[in-house]
Amino acid sequence: MVIVGTTTHLRYQSTLQGKCPYCDLNNSNLELQLYCDYTHLTLIPLFPVKRHGSIHCTACNAPIAYEELSQDCKTTVDAIAHQKRLFPIWTFTGSLVILLSLSIFIKNWYVKSHTDYPLEQLQKGDVVFYETENGYYSSFKILERKGPTFKVVHNTYIQNTFFDLEDLNEPSNYSKQKETLTLSDLNTMETKGYIEGIEKSKLNSF
Ligand SMILES: [Zn+2]
């Protein structure tokens, strides 16, 4: 069962010397405690919610408001609170895990939707993005298919990164010269990991 809730965590504790306005001792031990609240899913912290703190006198146990402190004490408390202003990183654990899982999921979905299209089903109009043997990237377009034989036109542009490879797919970038490729050529490219992705022609998507 997944339980969502908020937990208060004591993250800092120290004793200051100061005047307690209640028992009126001049040198009481005043205990400062700083907390952070965080939301959790069962036992996993998701994200922090707020910071808060308290001060009490260890002699008479009275809680003391910040405004009741001497100026010296206020300065000390301010310095400590400033030092502890950032939430501990572990309070973000759940958010980081969710973000990471989501980005892996989106990346997998993207790769799958761009590559999981069997070469056997390539048809006229489809575009194949590939890596060349010397590490450049380009594409070719299927003009026609007869069984295992494809007539293709190659992109006249190459680039040295696979990012935004789709941008190369401009009709005017393709050569006029037709070349022949066989299904077995394509399978060899895929086995060597040279096929980066396939963009199905809109006509073939329906
Ligand atoms: Zn006191």
Tokens 């790769």 correspond to: 111
The token pair that represents 48 in the structure block: 């922090």
Neighbours of ion ligand 1 (CB under 5 A): 20, 22-23, 57, 59-60
Residue 206 clears pLDDT 60, i.e. is over it: no
pLDDT band at 204 (very low <50, low <70, confident <90, very high): low
The SS3 of residue 34 is strand
**Hey, which of 18-32, 167-181, 184-198 has the most confident mean pLDDT?**
167-181
| Non-local CB neighbours of 90 within 8 Å, separated by 6+ positions | 45
Q: How far is the CA of 66 from the centre of ligand 1 (A)?
A: 14
4 burial via Cβ count (<10 Å: 0-12, 13-18, 19+): exposed
Q: How far is the CA of 77 from the centre of ligand 1 (A)?
A: 18
**Proportion of the chain above pLDDT 90, given as a percent:** 69
CATH topology of domain 114-205: SH3 type barrels. (2.30.30)
Residue 48 — φ and ψ, nearest 5°? -75, 155
In the chain, where the domains are located:
4-95, 114-205
